Amino acid sequence: MRKVLTEDLKAGMKVAKPLYLADGTVLLNAGVTLKESYIQQLKERNIPALFIIDEDLPDVEVPEMISDQTRLQATQTLQECMNDISLGNQFNARKVKKAVNNIVDELTSKRHVVVHLNDIRSYDDYTFGHSVNVTSLAILTGMSMGYNKLELRDLGIGALLHDVGKITVDEDILLKSEGLTDEEFAEVQKHARRGYEIVRETDGISSCSAHIAFQHHERINGSGYPRGLTGDEMLEFAQIVAVVDVYDAITCDRVYRDALEPHEALEILEDMMQAKLNHEIVQVFFENVAIYPIGTLVELSTGQIGIVVDVNKEDLSSPVVRLIKEDDDVEIEEIDLMHNEGIEIADVITDSKRDEYINT
């Protein structure tokens, strides 16, 4: 299967994975053949992309970071928390802990988890989907840094709740894609401190988790907000969440901006953000991210075209590539770039150019 942007969907394509809405209902089930009316509905709902069954890769699955069930439980728990907060009530800390424990248990029970950047969320539930992603990515990074389960839970709770302060910010401002006035930007920035205050006042949540909400927009060179803390003053937990928050924001399919591919995100995090984010954490984080996720169409340095069908955890920039043959040769040929030192990936072929290379 592969991810196809909604604007590139065509009637007749088959859905590979169920598409859930924020409330847990299934909008489209796996196996459904797309009709024009369905595609229209996806557009109306601002759903940016869909997983479809790829005829070129019928046997290749994109592994999930966490199960749909665990993801939904966390999304719904966060949604309930936000509802409680907006009503002026305390949120259910026990439920939050349970949702995060499940994510920690699932991630720590798997070996060699690799992030495949395969999350799809609808625009209207961006905060929920984004926060659950940030939670999984932060826990995964904490695991690589040798954290124990208790630390992973505190980190995960802070990550899940890092943006709860957004409930106090005017939705119209939050959904504005660009051109915020100084006043509006100041309003958005308030979500960090307000989130901290909300989480801090909740019984049963550690102050570490509350400080993640407070500090997740701080930058190690002091250029962040709300307090302009430097790296020495920031919690390591908050530095982790800062890295994965930036990563998830620049790689997700927000409707108004084209998502970046993982290799582009790596360049941004390594170069542009070098002064602002903890470089060691960026490095550790990228040990878990498939730079070329399964299903990516690539051009090799030999000029051959192929599709990534597996990744090597030991060297994520050298995946296994299945070559696309020009003739009718049905024999499958795969090159493991980790064991073919002279060959590397020269370019990634984006979806819009895909038809020029295959199925022609």
Q: Give the burial string for 204-241 (b: 16+ CB within 10 Å, else e).
A: ebbebbbbbbbbbbbbbeeebbbeebeeeebbbbbbbb
Shortest reach from residue 312's CB to Fe ion, in Å: 34
221 - beta bridge partners? 230
Shortest reach from residue 218's CB to Fe ion, in Å: 11
**Cα-only R_g, the chain:** 21
**Region of 56-64, 78-86, 102-110, 161-169 interacting with Fe ion (CB under 5 A):** 161-169
d(CA 312, CA 287): 11
Q: How far is CA 128 from CA 54, 75, 125, 195, in A?
A: 28, 5, 5, 15
Given the complex with Fe ion, which of 151 and 163 has the nearer CB atom? 163
Given the complex with Fe ion, which of 106 and 163 has the nearer CB atom? 163
Neighbours of 249 (CB within 10 A): 17
Given the complex with Fe ion, which of 57 and 169 has the nearer CB atom? 169
Given the complex with Fe ion, which of 246 and 337 has the nearer CB atom? 246
**Region of 53-61, 121-129, 159-167, 222-230 interacting with Fe ion (CB under 5 A):** 159-167
Residue in this structure with the two tokens 């599709």, named with its chain if needed: 307
Site string for Fe ion, 197-226 (x = CB under 5 A): ------------------------------
**Region of 51-59, 138-146, 147-155, 160-168 interacting with Fe ion (CB under 5 A):** 160-168
Residue in this structure with the two tokens 């802990």, named with its chain if needed: 97
Alpha helices in the chain (DSSP H): 36-44, 68-86, 93-109, 126-144, 149-160, 171-175, 182-200, 207-215, 236-251, 262-267, 279-286, 354-357
Shortest reach from residue 169's CB to Fe ion, in Å: 10
Q: Which residue is nearest to Fe ion (CB)?
A: 163
d(CA 157, CA 175): 25
Shortest reach from residue 62's CB to Fe ion, in Å: 28
Shortest reach from residue 177's CB to Fe ion, in Å: 16
Shortest reach from residue 313's CB to Fe ion, in Å: 30
d(CA 158, CA 151): 11
Q: Measuring CA to CA, which residue among 109, 102, 125 is closest to residue 46?
A: 125
Given the complex with Fe ion, which of 194 and 322 has the nearer CB atom? 194
Given the complex with Fe ion, which of 27 and 249 has the nearer CB atom? 249
Tell me: does residue 163 bind Fe ion (CB under 5 A).
Answer: yes
Given the complex with Fe ion, which of 8 and 184 has the nearer CB atom? 184
Q: Which residues bind Fe ion (CB under 5 A)?
A: 163
